[in-house]
């Protein structure tokens, strides 16, 4: 780490006092947006006219022009799962491509294992990648695997690509005032399944075994590929986004930031699974701020919202209108018990506090 030296000089005197201050280290989780904006997004190598969409807050992948098509490309690592690291690496990266309304097609992975891991353990991870890829009709086209002392548990970094004809996709920046905001399935799916798995015995005492089991099973709903591709094909979608860290609340802020719009949500309309509601209540966290892979956030022309919901329903996906997009980008509200309140902007995911509660129990 190292320490910064700060010298204060009292003006008009020769008095100098030197302080040593520890630089502010970053906490586990995604690097905060303001740091990304300042440090990362200004460091982008050469500028290239074929890069249609580069790194942006709230965008899930890059869009690159190749002939008369575009390649959509995303990368995400799985660093915190012992059981499902290979399976999650495929789904999480596939979700990023699906937010463009595009089917994920080609997957590469860098697999890193601590020394002493066996070929069988590698085989288990590869089986997960294989089966998740087959579920989603994705080809695994390459990768790298190595044993390294720099990791303390298996990490899989995924890289996913899809293609679309030029212009035949949406981003998170296309939401328009007057649009309906739709979410698919229920919110907090990913967070609920993590909490129900990690805190199984603790939560069983609080909410019952049935609820815990339902929470664990939500894992199987983590893909939004069908959600995104089906919604896009209706032709009525202006923007989509995959709410991950910071939950639905943060996801709505991100789509509003990217589109330069505001929003008004109805808390009572937000679909929450019984297991999510009970587990969040018991752990005293907000389901709106819980990591939310599994639910797609969609901004679509209001008058066609019911058509979009019908089409999703026809492929077995529940969805609901949760509010409207407004013109004023500073207006971000949610109606709760009849009162309009500011939509919370979580600085960190509710998952971390909840996991801490579980581990201390």
Which residues in the 79-108 window bind a copy of itself by CB under 8 A? 79-80, 90, 105-108
CB 107, CB 139: distance < 8 Å: yes
Q: Among 11-19, 47-55, 171-179, 326-334, which window interacts with a copy of itself (CB under 8 A)? A: 47-55
Whole-angstrom distance, CA of residue 262 vs CA of residue 258: 11
Whole-angstrom distance, CA of residue 301 vs CA of residue 37: 31
DSSP H or E stretch at residue 313: helix 305-314
From 13, 14, 18, 152, residue interacting with a copy of itself (rule: CB under 8 A): 152
**Closer residue to a copy of itself (CB): 129 or 207:** 129
Please report whether residue 66 would count as binding a copy of itself according to CB under 8 A. yes
CB of 258: closest distance to a copy of itself in angstroms? Answer: 14
Burial of 266: CB neighbours in 10 Å, binned 0-12, 13-18, 19+: middle
Please report whether residue 21 would count as binding a copy of itself according to CB under 8 A. no
**Closer residue to a copy of itself (CB): 27 or 339:** 27
Whole-angstrom distance, CA of residue 342 vs CA of residue 5: 40
**Closer residue to a copy of itself (CB): 304 or 352:** 352
Please report whether residue 138 would count as binding a copy of itself according to CB under 8 A. yes
**Closer residue to a copy of itself (CB): 101 or 323:** 101
Total residues interacting with a copy of itself, rule: CB under 8 A: 88
**Closer residue to a copy of itself (CB): 57 or 329:** 57
Please report whether residue 5 would count as binding a copy of itself according to CB under 8 A. no
Please report whether residue 68 would count as binding a copy of itself according to CB under 8 A. yes
Whole-angstrom distance, CA of residue 52 vs CA of residue 218: 35
Q: Name the residue with tokens 């249609």.
A: 52
Please report whether residue 25 would count as binding a copy of itself according to CB under 8 A. yes
Which value, to the nearest 10 degrees, does the dihedral of the CA atoms of residues 289, 293, 295, 300 take?
Answer: 90
**Closer residue to a copy of itself (CB): 132 or 343:** 132
**Strand, helix or coil for residue 78:** strand
């Amino acid at each position: 780490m190292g320490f910064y030296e700060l010298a204060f000089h009292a003006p008009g005197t020769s008095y100098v006092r030197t302080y040593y201050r520890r630089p502010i280290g970053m906490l586990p989780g995604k690097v905060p947006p303001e740091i990304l904006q300042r440090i990362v997004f200004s460091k982008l190598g050469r500028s290239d006219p074929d890069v249609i969409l580069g790194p942006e807050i709230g965008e899930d992948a890059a869009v690159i022009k190749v002939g008369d098509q575009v390649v959509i490309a995303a990368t995400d690592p799985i660093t915190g799962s012992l059981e499902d690291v290979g399976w999650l690496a495929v789904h999480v990266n596939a979700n990023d491509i699906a937010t463009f309304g595009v089917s994920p097609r080609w997957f590469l992975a860098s697999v890193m294992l601590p020394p002493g891991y066996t070929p069988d353990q590698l085989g288990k991870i590869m089986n997960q990648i294989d089966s998740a890829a087959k579920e989603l009709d994705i080809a695994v086209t390459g990768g790298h695997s190595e044993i390294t002392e720099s990791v303390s548990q298996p990490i899989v970094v995924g890289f996913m690509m899809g293609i679309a004809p030029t212009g035949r996709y949406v981003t998170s920046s296309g939401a328009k005032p007057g649009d309906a905001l739709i979410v698919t399935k229920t919110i907090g799916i990913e967070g609920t399944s993590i909490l129900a798995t990690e805190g199984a015995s603790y939560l069983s005492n609080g909410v019952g075994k049935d609820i815990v089991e339902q929470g664990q099973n939500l894992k199987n709903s983590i893909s939004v590929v069908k959600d995104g591709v089906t919604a896009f094909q209706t032709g009525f979608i202006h923007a989509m986004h995959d709410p991950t860290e910071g939950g639905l609340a943060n996801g709505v802020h991100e789509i509003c930031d990217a589109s330069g719009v505001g929003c008004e949500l109805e808390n009572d309309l937000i679909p929450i699974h019984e297991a999510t509601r009970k587990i969040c209540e018991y752990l005293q966290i907000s389901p709106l701020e819980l990591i939310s892979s599994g639910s797609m956030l969609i901004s679509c022309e209001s008058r066609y919202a019911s058509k979009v919901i019908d089409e999703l329903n026809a492929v077995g996906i529940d969805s609901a209108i949760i509010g409207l997009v407004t013109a004023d980008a500073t207006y971000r509200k949610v109606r709760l018990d009849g009162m309009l309140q500011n939509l919370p902007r979580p600085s960190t995911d509710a998952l971390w506090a909840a996991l801490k509660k579980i581990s201390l129990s």
